[in-house]
Structure 1
Amino acid sequence: MNKIWDFFAENPMAAVIAAGEIGFWVAIGAGLLARYLLRLKRTSTVLLALTPVIDIVVLVATVLDLQGGGKANFVHGLAAVYLGFSVVFGPSMIRWADVRFAHRFAGGPPPPPKPRGREKARVEWREWGKCVLACGIAAAVLLGLIFLVGDGEQVAPLWGWLPRLGVATAIWFATGPLWQELSPKNDDRVSEGTRR
């Protein structure tokens, strides 16, 4: 346990990112609780609207840390990646949680069944497109941080995140849409034949 506290003491940005992720889920949970159990729709809307504010706080903390002379490291790059993925995937994560919470606590309809066949392939392509967009936003934030701070040596580790984003996109493509397209289960005719 001491090692964890030591890590956060040495890397305050890691604590900011961890607090941001925890805050993201707390805001979602509190917003859904307010909406469905307490029937406080306006309060719920405000709580759910806090999720992008949390992203902004993480970004501002990153900029302030670097402009204050902090040397960029892995965690500063992670903050940019967190921002990109949170902005792109955050709304769909909220919708996912909302449907399940409404079904469980407010008599809402059950979540839709998992897609199959061609529909599953379309979902994989859409999610990979969102990954590309998230990586693009993360890359733009990284480049913004690099040029905003301007000190080559101070921000050198941030450059290393750009190839990582490319690798993440390629892995997502291979394990998502490409895998689904090459899978025999993806063929609707095969699916229909196996159901008979």
Structure 2
Amino acid sequence: MAAGYLSWNCARPIAKEYFQFWPDGEDMLWAKSCWAAVEKSGLAVYHTEQEEMVCLSYVGLLALFYQEFAWRLGVETYKPLSEDNITEIFYASLDEIDSGLVQLREALQDRFGLMELYRMTLLSVEAGRQGARIPSELASEYESCFTYGPESMGLPFERAFSFVNGAILHPEELCSVTIPRAR
């Protein structure tokens, strides 16, 4: 098999199955921005069918990352990941999932930096939750969080930040989903 590349145009139809957290599509905008980091890091390149499946799995892991962030922030999404989505994501072993989450987090942090990744994810979740708002208006609402750190805003902001920072990444410690039993 020749080398392949999973561009956003190819990943988008899959992402639409996962990213249904908000009716206005704010989550898809976030996913598109993040997919650029996946591409830049080389995680979207494959040489075998098995590697192609790993590339495809990053779409689901990105959705899991987003949902977990919202959950730790204390925000209930309009529509969480479906049982089928969760089963697809956790089809791989827990070690593979954990490794994929670590690689994804590293790619996102390499591209955006820790605080910008936190900022853009927080603003996306809040924009989706609150509906259409002017981005600058929304950002000013959370300015102390970005200036003085998540701890200045309280525990939910700290929990979301610790997840982005990688403090808790193992799938068994995810809070927003129940991991399906092994088959």
Task: Give me the TM-score of the superposition, normalised by structure 1.
Answer: 0.32
Which one scores higher on RCO, CA 8 angstroms, separation ≥ 6?
Answer: 2
Task: Give me the TM-score of the superposition, normalised by structure 2.
Answer: 0.34
Pick the structure with greater CA Rg. 1
